[in-house]
Amino acid sequence: MPIIIREPADWDPFRELEQLQRQMDRLFRQSFGGRFPWRVGVYPLVNISEDRDYVYVRAELPGVKPENLEIHIRDKNLVIRGERKIMGEEKDVNFHRRERESGFFRRVLTLPTPVNPDNVEATCKDGILTIKIAKPEEIKPRQIKVASA
């Protein structure tokens, strides 16, 4: 299981990072005439989904070990950081193709709905990281009974 760290309430670097990310994006867009085709976002790319009780954040991280992953959550802000190491980098080999990359990554994202940061589960399976975050009771849809008069 990756480590999940809850930050103390008075510390908030996430908003700043997020702002910086947005400013950088804007700068890139301006300097390249609104188009920056090879920039598709920040690694890792994530898909976000929801059901009635949870929000799910998924990322493809093939070959990344859970011990090399660190996940932080505070309010609606989620940070995924880690390192991807590539095996088989022995000296005595002759590479024909090298398409896989290794390195560090850090992704800061704001969740689309309010969440309960005390109820988070993260799992890695077949190279896919799934972070399952509970929604607080007050935003869950409620069924309203219709009383007959």
Question: Do the beta carbons of residue 9 and residue 71 sit within 8 Å?
Answer: no
Residue 10 vs 126, nearer CB to another protein: 126
How many angstroms separate the Cα of 107 from the Cα of each of 74, 82, 89, 118?
Answer: 14, 9, 26, 20
**First and final CA of the chain: distance in angstroms?**
53
- Regarding 141 and contact with another protein (CB under 8 A), the answer is no
User: What is the smallest separation between the CB atom of 48 and another protein, expressed in angstroms?
Assistant: 5
17 binds another protein (CB under 8 A): no
Exposed/middle/buried for 141, CB within 10 Å: 0-12, 13-18, 19+? Answer: exposed
Q: Is 27 helix (H, G, I), strand (E, B) or coil?
A: helix
Residue with smaller CB distance to another protein, 31 or 94: 94
134 binds another protein (CB under 8 A): no
Per-residue contact track with another protein, 21 to 60, x per CB under 8 A? Answer: -------------------xxxxxxxxxxxxx--xx-x-x
Residue 11 touching another protein (CB under 8 A): no
Question: CA-to-CA distance for 58 and 23, rounded, in angstroms?
Answer: 25
Select 46 or 122, whichever has its Cβ closest to another protein: 46
Q: Which residues bind another protein (CB under 8 A)?
A: 40-52, 55-56, 58, 60-65, 84, 86-88, 92-105, 112, 124, 126-128
